[in-house]
Amino acid sequence: MKKSERQQYIQQFIEQADITRQEDLVQCFLDMNVVVTQATISRDIKEMKLIKVVGENGVAHYQMPINRLDNRRNDVGNLTVPSAILNGADVLQVDQLNNYVSISVVPGHGPMVAMVIRQGNFPHVFTAIGDDSTVLVVCDTEEDARELQTYIAQLA
């Protein structure tokens, strides 16, 4: 099986089921009578830039990278972000102080939200850092932080 074909199957597998481990992907191929190694799957995951996100059940599973997901434009300034992902992160609270925005989310969603913000089209965001349930976003100015805070609050 060619690499491109194998990677198409990997995409299908992770879109059809919550695949949590590389060994699960190896088993999916074995179920098709195709032998692949865990090392091959690991290289494919890296090349495809798959990410792991926490599902509603609290278990992390593979997903296609954020930049391949549908981005929606919002009504606040020129911000663009995968809104469905931020909505799905269960944002609990959004606060702004100076040029910082603090986002409280359901435990387990912090790293994903930080990554979405870093990879989103936020021209005035310097960086976002997320732990288990909190994301700290550093914006260029206080006004930029206020705009981001308003946008995230609208999604919550």
93/130 same-domain check: yes
Mean pLDDT of 2-7: 91
36/110 same-domain check: no
Give the rounded percent of residues in the chain with a pLDDT score beyond 90: 44
**Which pLDDT belongs to residue 43?**
94
Question: What is the per-residue pLDDT across 21-32, written as a single tens digit (0 to 9) for each?
Answer: 999 999 999 999
43/105 same-domain check: no
Is the pLDDT reported for residue 92 higher than 50? yes
48/94 same-domain check: no
93/141 same-domain check: yes
106/136 same-domain check: yes
**Which pLDDT belongs to residue 15?**
87
Question: How long a stretch of residues is the chain?
Answer: 156
75/148 same-domain check: yes
- Range list of β-strands (E), the chain: 51-54, 60-63, 72-73, 80-81, 91-97, 100-105, 125-130, 134-139
Of 49, 64, 79, which residue is a domain's last?
64
147/76 same-domain check: yes
Distance between CA atoms of residues 107 and 125, nearest Å: 23
SS3 call for 39: helix
75/55 same-domain check: no
**Which pLDDT belongs to residue 66?**
55
Please tell me the total count of domains within the chain: 2
Distance between CA atoms of residues 139 and 146, nearest Å: 9
72/146 same-domain check: yes
Report which of residues 116 and 12 the model is more confident about.
Answer: 12
Looking at the DSSP bridge assignments, the partners of residue 127 are 138
Q: Confidence band (pLDDT; 50, 70, 90) for 72?
A: very low
> Range of 12's domain?
3-64
34/55 same-domain check: yes
Q: Confidence band (pLDDT; 50, 70, 90) for 71?
A: very low
107/126 same-domain check: yes
